[in-house]
Amino acid sequence: MLLALANAAIFASMAVIDKRLIDRYVPSLPSYYVWIGFSVLIYGIVFMAIDGIPDTDHLGHTIVAGLSGLSWGLALAMMFLGYKLQEVSRASAMVFTFPVFVALFAVVFMGESLVPLQWVAITVVIAGGVLISMTGPATSKAKLTKIIPVLLCASLLIATGHLTAKYALEEVSVPLVTSLHFLGVAAVLLFFWRRDTVSNLRRAMSHKEALILMLVAEGVLAPAALLAQIFATKLGPVSLVATITGTHPIFVVFYTAVLSMSGLRIMNESLNRNTLAVKAASVAMIIGGVASLGLLAEGTIG
């Protein structure tokens, strides 16, 4: 499951870069959506060329793979809105409660049952999310309270993306699922095209730091993270993969804490002792609950 862990670490670094770009260089979210949409559209075409046009032998699974990409596209749009309005460590912690939804979907749609300890784990995850949303400056709390429904919806969509990708991979190749994932994300994000999109992006790219970050995030990290995720989903149980990728908030808290230190100040997150303690406790509750949920699920399946 090293691939799933790599996905969590890479995705966390992308979250930090996204926050930096949105706050400093691309304040227009629709313009940022379009930049990512064009980037992943290119990858979608490349992976489609590698695998070829899909045939109709597994049409149902192919359609589901496309739905997985659409789910991720909607989730990313909501997640970036959370990054714009809130500290990235808090927003990420809320979004990456998605393994709870994976477990609940398994109960509703797959006929699985949850043992009492799994319900306890779900309660712990929810408590961790509430704790991290109820701490911090008053303005921060007010913003997070408003954005919580959006972040939870993003979490729900990520869970949907994981489950639909797992189903598609039963009959469809990794390159094709990867291609349809990218194309689905592009279809959602390119919808946000506005008249001033090109001028906004040109202005952002005139800054050397912004250009480098945009190219690294979408040119290197995005395909690496997605391939790690899809191969992990292909090779392992979806509940365990979701559990490990759900450790993403740990990396975000670590990255943002380091980058917010006085010697760097690349990020602007609160580093006072109480805030860090609450963030650490909240993330520990979320990760601990998610890990317990996944491990208990594996034990039940086994």
Three-state DSSP state, 25: coil
Greater pLDDT, 263 or 151: 151
CB of 80 closer than 8 Å to CB of 18 = yes
Q: What is the pLDDT of residues 47-61, one digit of tens each?
A: 899 878 877 778 899
**Number of folded domains in the chain?**
1
Domain of 238, in residue numbers: 2-301
Alpha helices in 116-196 (DSSP H): 116-133, 138-168, 174-189
Q: What is the pLDDT at residue 154? A: 95
Q: What is the pLDDT of residues 222-259, one digit of tens each?
A: 889 888 888 887 777 766 777 777 778 888 888 888 88
The residue among 102, 84, 70, 72 whose CA lies nearest residue 15 is 84
Q: What is the pLDDT at residue 143? A: 60
Mean pLDDT of 114-119: 78
Mean pLDDT of 149-163: 92
Q: Phi then psi for 270, rounded to 5 degrees?
A: -65, 135
- Neighbouring CB atoms inside 10 A of 220's CB total 12
